[in-house]
Chain A
Amino acid sequence: MLSTILSRLGQGCIVVFLLLALTFVLIRLMPGDPFTSDKALPPHIKEQNEKRFKLNESNLVQFTAYLKTLAQGEMGISITREQPVTKIIKSSFPASAILGIAGIIIAVCVGVPAGILSALKKNSLIDYGTMILAMLGISVPSFVLAPVLASGIAGNIPFLKVAGWGGALDWFLPALTLGLATAAYLARITRGGMLDVLNQDFIRTAKAKGVPALKIILKHALRGGIIPAIAYVGPAFAMLITGSFIVETIFQIPGMGQHFVNATKERDFFLLQGVVIVLGVLIVIGNIAADIALVAINPRLRETS
């Protein structure tokens, strides 16, 4: 088991490095630079600023310098914000993490039971109804759902704000927006997983032995049926806690998602590289956590690993 985790960690490091290298190259291939603006900089000022961030050096020199900065535990200075990238990430990660955790709780609490219910009531009205709702959840984009929730719910309930980040009540609608889309996927995945397991011989045997239905579902069927959902939840969780640009801008949340879009638009090389590293690391961790959970649930995987 330990060797599997170590091996996955090694692969994860390679993935993150490749991701960083690719981001480094692609952002620099985009037209314009961090100092391109509507009010043109005089050439001597532009040159001075490029020198300050070593952008006048070759890409190889810049990449090597950046790796050295990373080795020192820093991620450079944001070109457009004049702040250390680590400070920006540290200040915006908590909001995204809170939102992501709340979102995933909603997703699991709604999606998994809905998937189980749908599988148990296969081809019934409940099944069709749940799957139609799940398809709607997948199809309705967050930029539609979020304003509808903000105006429709928060606009009519005095203690809910349409946007803003303060108390726990402010988490509710953005977490719901994030959670419902993930819940929809989870419901479909759980349903598929459960249907596979419910048709297995050991379930029939348990039924024949007179094991109570609830025990069959929770102890026997769910253990196998939940496996695809767990494999999905790991990376989905990583994506959720690194923020969503749309949900953050619609609900005015000081999270990390905005940096992926804004840093790209503003060609803020160091900020983009920083947030991509964080995302990459979290996805690797999410995958490893999902693998460990799968091994813990499925004894056959334990033997293989």
Chain B
Amino acid sequence: MSFTRIHSIFILLSLAALAGLLGSCDSQTPVERATEANILVLGNSAEPAALDPQIVTGVIESNIITALFEGLCGQHPSNDGKHLPGAAASWTHNENFTVWTFSLQPNGKWSDGTPVTTADFLYAYERILHPEFGAKYASMLYYIKGAEAFNKGEAKDFSGVGLRAIDSHTLEITMRAPIPFLPDLTKHYTWYPVPKHTIEKHGGMLAKNGEWTKAGNLVSNGPFTLSQWVLFDRIECKSSPTYWDAATVKLSGIHFLPISNAYTEARMFYNNQLHVTYTLAPELISYSKDKYPENTRLETYLGSNFLRLNVTRPQLSNEHLRKALAHAVNSQSIIDNILQGGQEQATGLVPNMGEYKAAKVMFYDPDLAKEHLKKSGLNPAELSLTLLTTDKEAAKVIAEALQDMWRKTLGITVNIRQSEWKSYQKAMSDLDYDISTGGWIGDYPDPTTFLDMWKKGDGNNRTGWSSEQYEQLLGTAELTEEPVQRIRALEEAEKVLLSETPIIPLYWYTQCYLKHQSVKGWHPLILNNHPYKFISLEKTTSSPKP
């Protein structure tokens, strides 16, 4: 090859590189380009485990699935308590909330144009409950009569489950007890229909090969359809022309980016690459509030953070010691000095929701804490306790704060044991701890989402605590038809739980994130499930700039 030829190739390559560089020198930011294309770009923390509503269990997957699928009732854009028509146009119930009848949208269609019928719902519910399918979240449907027995293999015939197709567009659901919050449940992805015709084409009901959820195969009934799924890079959805309420959908598409590093996500937002972040690291809250006040969002979230106390440990079987530990914790100080995310100090386990009034049992009172320690008859100097927590940096700081509070108020030395996530979960399940950090995010806005887990033998209890009185009250609530009386029974149950202190509630969660000013129709919601069909993008002259 002659020198002249090499020289020519070099010049050509340089020109190509320069052209590429200039081509990318666009005066618009990625967010501005996306806004112009009417595409919402969201940070979504991690690659979803799957897009099959009956396989997944997490919030990350839920964020995408709620764009693709729709349950019987639809989410209101600004009020968690209101239910809008979804896959069902209307619904009725009998007097005691045990039998519900849903009339499906007459023009409800899957994205391939096939009508959505009751057969799809029955197929979906049989699939999630089928004992051989092994759906991890099947228990979300245990409210249906006979569902639990079928899922556990105790009843072999699915016709024994309280589901009946009155006709192709009328579905009747018989509950195991009065369930006034069924519309809330149907908004959860476990209650969504799945396309029978597509699943049967790609392996059948029990196949878990993910074939039917691939881009190109996935057929959905929600406002958006899956257009592209690039593993670990992005999921792209576009608006569905066959959606029954397509006229309401304002966005042309949504891009979900699996950004696992919260600092990277914030940097991407600060540099106009994202419309909305999934989260905001506690260390960045103060900075963001200062530099991006219009974009920083701290909103109430349906979740509770608490400490578990292992009551099977000899020292912690002493109720007075548990109460002493509880009243020595100043959680407001943790919120103000460590979390800084506007969390609310928890006075009970269940936050306020609708008729349910949060208990006012937990509070910081050093004198009361000392009094309980005295009553416990234990010598603080002889106590040896360990606090189990996760390996996150923030978890360590909180653990150190708690350690300091107990030492200063009670003179008790508490050691800290940090474990990586699975080891931490295993230690809790095995009751191999004294005190442990913990938290719970509600699946639906009803107190039972927080209270059912403390029943004896429940896999999420993990304290060794149980109470007949507590379970009786939960049982009473379940059988109570009158909604307000039911709520009062649940409040009583929570009081029993808190009075025996197997847990120490610390704070109620907030959702901290960043939102671009071009995003409209995105309102605070306690479940943080924003119905995408009401969201729009408007060009703004300002961009988030520090």
A positions within 8 Å CB-CB of B: 30-33, 35-45, 48-49, 52, 80-83, 87-88, 91-92, 95, 147, 150-151, 154-155, 158-159, 161-165, 167-169, 249-252, 254-255, 258, 265-267
Contacts and interface: CB of A to CB of B under 8 A. Distances in A.
Contacts of A42: 138-139, 152, 459
A249 B422 contact: no
Given A42-B459, A82-B50, A252-B264, A265 B233 contact: no
A266 B422 contact: yes
A82 B55 contact: yes
8 contacts: A42-B139, A44-B153, A82-B208, A82-B210, A150-B267, A161-B30, A163-B259, A169-B20
Interface stretch (B127-135, B311-319, B511-519): B127-135
B429 A36 contact: yes
B427 A31 contact: yes
Contact of B422 (A32, A48, A88, A252): A32
Contacts of B231: 83, 87-88, 91-92, 254
A32 B423 contact: yes
B328 to A, nearest CB: 26
B20 A167 contact: yes
A30 B459 CA distance: 21
A154 B267 CA distance: 10
A45 B271 contact: no
Given A44-B131, A250-B264, A168 B50 contact: no
Interface string B206-225: 00111000000000000000
A250 B261 CA distance: 7
A-B CB proximity, top 9 nearest: A40-B459, A32-B422, A48-B134, A254-B232, A254-B233, A32-B426, A91-B231, A31-B423, A249-B261
A231 B264 CA distance: 35
B260 interface: yes
Contacts of B52: 82
B25 A159 contact: yes
B273 A163 contact: yes
A48 B133 CA distance: 8
A44 B260 contact: no
Given A40-B458, A163-B273, 12 more contacts: A30-B422, A40-B462, A42-B138, A45-B134, A80-B49, A82-B49, A159-B25, A163-B268, A164-B30, A249-B260, A250-B263, A254-B230
Nearest to A251: B264
B257 interface: yes
A260 to B, nearest CB: 13
Given A81-B49, A92-B231, A250-B264, A161 B422 contact: no
A163 B264 contact: yes
A162 B268 contact: yes
B381 interface: no
Contacts of B153: 44
Given A39-B460, A82-B208, A91-B232, A45 B138 contact: yes
Nearest to A155: B271
A165 B260 CA distance: 14
A88 B271 CA distance: 30
A36 B426 contact: yes
B208 A52 contact: yes
Nearest to A151: B267
Nearest to B55: A82
Contacts of A40: 429, 458-460, 462
Nearest to B427: A31
Contact of A36 (B135, B233, B422): B422
Contacts of B419: 31
A161 B264 CA distance: 11
B82 interface: no
B422 A91 contact: no
B138 A155 contact: no
Chain A CB within 10 Å, residue with most, of B50, B152, B210: B210
A276 B344 CA distance: 45
B527 to A, nearest CB: 16
Nearest to B231: A91
A148 to B, nearest CB: 11
A265 B424 CA distance: 11
A299 to B, nearest CB: 28
Contacts of B427: 31
B302 to A, nearest CB: 15
Contacts of B460: 39-40
Contacts of B208: 52, 82
B1 interface: no
Interface string B147-158: 000011100000
A167 B16 CA distance: 14
Contacts of B233: 95, 165, 254
B24 A83 contact: no
B21 interface: yes
B422 A31 contact: yes
Interface in B48-68: 49-50, 52, 55, 57
Contacts of B459: 40-43
A159 B260 contact: no
Given A36-B422, A39-B460, A80-B49, A164 B273 contact: yes
B204 to A, nearest CB: 15
Interface in B449-480: 458-460, 462
B399 to A, nearest CB: 18
B420 interface: yes
B261 A252 contact: yes
A169 B22 CA distance: 11
A169 B267 contact: no
Interface string B22-38: 00111100100000000
A162 B273 contact: yes
Contacts of B376: none
A36 B425 contact: yes
A252 B421 contact: no
Contacts of B439: 38
Contacts of A52: 134, 208
Contacts of B20: 167-169
Nearest to A91: B231
A167 B267 CA distance: 19
B232 A37 contact: no
Contacts of B230: 91, 254
Contacts of A159: 21, 24-26
A44 B139 CA distance: 11
B134 A49 contact: yes
Contacts of B138: 42, 45
Interface in B265-281: 267-268, 270-271, 273
A158 B25 contact: yes
Given A82-B210, A88-B231, A41 B136 contact: yes
Contacts of A158: 25, 27
Nearest to A82: B50
A80 B419 CA distance: 21
A44 to B, nearest CB: 5
A83 B26 CA distance: 37
Interface string B400-422: 00000000000000000001111
A167 B26 CA distance: 13
B131 A48 contact: yes
A255 B300 CA distance: 35
Contacts of A164: 30, 257, 268, 273
Contact of B425 (A32, A92, A147, A165): A32
Contacts of A147: 263, 267
A168 B23 CA distance: 12
B112 interface: no
Contacts of A41: 136, 459
Contacts of A81: 47, 49-50
